[in-house]
Amino acid sequence: MKTAMLLAALTALFMALGYMFGGTGGAMIALLVAAGMNLFTYWNADKIVLRMHNAREVDMASAPDFYGMVRDLARNAGLPMPRVYIVEDASPNAFATGRNPQNAAVAATTGLLHMLDRDEVAAVMAHELGHVRNRDTLVMTMVATIAGAISMIANFALFFRGGNGNGGNPLAAILAVLVAPFAAMIVQMAISRTREYGADKAGAEISGNPHALASALAKIAGAAQRRPTQAVAQNPAAAQLYIVPTSVSELFSTHPRTEKRIAALQAMGPGSSARPAAVRRGRSALDPLARD
């Protein structure tokens, strides 16, 4: 139902843009385009997101420690084995994508793998698997692609409207360009903030180590804000996929404040003693995981 409501809201926003720039005919064209986009995005959003990040798929041969860690965590979470990716980006972050647990993928940046120790990486990946288990990834991934498309189309619409001698109301055109991305951002905020607390809790249960997740959040939050990923620089809507936000403004962030998430994790007990083998192996650095 939440997915359907999201698609309906974004389709209505898309039609409003079409009406603004093309009247009734523009709204109908926008409806047809939105229907096709929604269908295409449902089946291909994960591929779009991974391509957006230039993510490289790894396996037991190319990244045995990292892949084995995710495999053990997925088993601990009772999930099918997801596809595993590494993103060559100095910004420390991670995300999950896919329309359901059977078609899920998880990814970590090289910046995250270099910065955190083994327990912290395991806790971060457990958080991402928590999103998969809670079935958050479909809505998160579709928002990243559709909201990004709306922002792009709004900017293109202003460009083409400016070249139309018949004009219309230029103030309305400018307003549409400003309102469309803002409205898409409101949708993102509505679906993302509470989900992060749920994924934090699930990640703590899956890894058995809430304090490692709290430590990881404390380490990467500032660095991720100062240096967003290349994908976010091109498409700001992708920021809501990550474990930590890339905006310092709480009003416009798709996540709760990191300090609140850390406090909630620190308030948890030590967690389950049935910890995956990937977590028990120690706290050595994970730099080799980022190399072929």
Q: Known catalytic residues?
A: 128
The type of residue at 215 is S
How far apart are alpha carbons 129 and 83 in whole angstroms? Answer: 11
Q: Nearest 5°: CA angle at 105, between 152 and 143? A: 30
Cα first-last separation, the chain: 41
Sheet holding 105-109, edge to edge: 56-58, 83-87, 105-109, 94-97
Check if the beta carbon of residue 102 is closer than 8 Å to that of residue 130: no
Q: Which two tokens stand for residue 195?
A: 């989900």
How far apart are alpha carbons 290 and 168 in whole angstroms? Answer: 53
SS3 80: coil
How far apart are alpha carbons 289 and 66 in whole angstroms? Answer: 6
In 3D space, the residue among 245, 164, 173, 121 whose CA is nearest the CA of residue 17 turns out to be: 173
